[in-house]
Structure 1
Amino acid sequence: MDLISFLQSVVLGIVEGLTEFLPISSTGHLIISGDLLNYTGEQAKTFEIVIQLGAILAVCYHYRERLMRVIRGLQSDSAAWHFVMNLVIGVVPSAIFGLALHGLIKKYLFNPLVVAVALIVGGLIIFVVERRPSEPRVVDVDQMSWLDALKVGFAQVFSLIPGTSRSGATIIGGMLFGLSRQSATEFSFFLAIPTMFLATGYDVFKSWESLANVDLGFFAVGFVTAFFSALLAIKGLIRYVAHHDFRIFAWYRVIFGAIALFYFLP
């Protein structure tokens, strides 16, 4: 692996890790970054799968104590079962729509122009939601009902459009449905675990032949970089939402999306 390849791997790993759990779209940023770095094609798609796994493991590591308590409590704790069932219910809508539309989305929507438009639209939606006066009905993840989880799950379906942002769709959707900013953010993190494992597993299955010919060093650097940068992003976002709203991310989306739209317009 030469220096250029090393830097490409580091940059893309950082982009994935920092954007996966912020409401600004990791997929969109990877599509645009890959285009700018001239790293596209089938191997690039396989690389994205691998570094997404690094980001997933960062969530698991950050919440390792909570996850272990849930696993141990499944034998006797009704709250643990309630938590797991909410995650299962939350992941079902995107799993169904993802399987049904996977090929069409990959074929027609994975391009910088779609990403740019989705970034702008998503930013405007965040502005609208943040301006709504509302008193949250749910202030803790454990207070969520199965219906709350289902509603957030349907909000997550919109993240199948590149540039929308999975975390953005689930957090802002959760706030629309009565969750506090903190509980919506935390549930988004937890929901990411089964959602991203399923999506990554499906992509690995579809791209299995491509994995046999990868540059292991290049992929390992991206994986490790994505893990540590995602860990920083998770901790930073948790601290941020305790005292701030999401308007800064809305401004970022609109400005970055407008620049990308101008740059990639034919």
Structure 2
Amino acid sequence: MTTHISTGFGLISAFRGNKNALLLIAFSFYYKWIEALLLNTSIITHQYIHKDIVLPYELATCAFFLLCLEGWANRYIIEIEHFRLLKQAQDTASWPAPTQTYYTAFVGLCSLLFRPFFRMTLIVIPVLTPFTEHLNDFTPVAWMSKVPLWTAGAWLLWSELKVLFYLSKPASQPPHFLKEALARWVLMTLLALCMVTFKVGFRSFFWLPNPITVQSLLTILFPFSLFFTMFFLPLRLVEFWVDWVDCRTLSHKIIYIASAVWLMFTIVTH
């Protein structure tokens, strides 16, 4: 009995302060559900190895509403984590900006390029295309019917610029459990949609032979590293940055990075 109690307290102690790693584990299960949903409803096969995710209009519309909430969710998560940092450090801690290293600055640049691209092609275009086609009947020149798409693209790019600004100079506000849960669900859902889209389109880069060998793992190491830096981190830039800041000790940071890498590996290779 004493052994079980000690083990239980040991596990609690190990995960205390590692809610970020636990959130990644929860996301892995949620991602599998989103992936199964999209593979059953949204996959388009052009060739045996060429597949795309094309959301049905109903799913795309739901995702579009979540996209409209993303700006609020990003800002709220950043502000409450900044509040927690100041509270725990007794107002002496400084919030690290994404431009503090070349690597994180490059990740921020990739977020400006790829986050709007995935959201535009996966969500905005399927939702607005019927409207632009109808608008084409009432415009004197064809390019005028594309104005809603250009406006949406500019809005997405502006939203990403604001995210980088919020991450560099965040405000703060006390957290509320329900608001935080809603904000994280919005970000988690959009991330899952974008990651399934990437996985379907680039799956051939990550196929592993059976059985898995050291050589096969080394073969995908380079594309995996590129994907991790250029797509995975930028697509979840806000969640990654605030969770990284929330890791107070070196052991927490190691566990968090390990869980992020493992999550990415299991997603792209299964």
* TM-score under structure 1 length normalisation: 0.30
Q: TM-score, normalising length from structure 2?
A: 0.29
Structure ID, larger Rg: 2
Larger RCO, structures 1/2 (Cα 8 Å, 6+ apart): 1
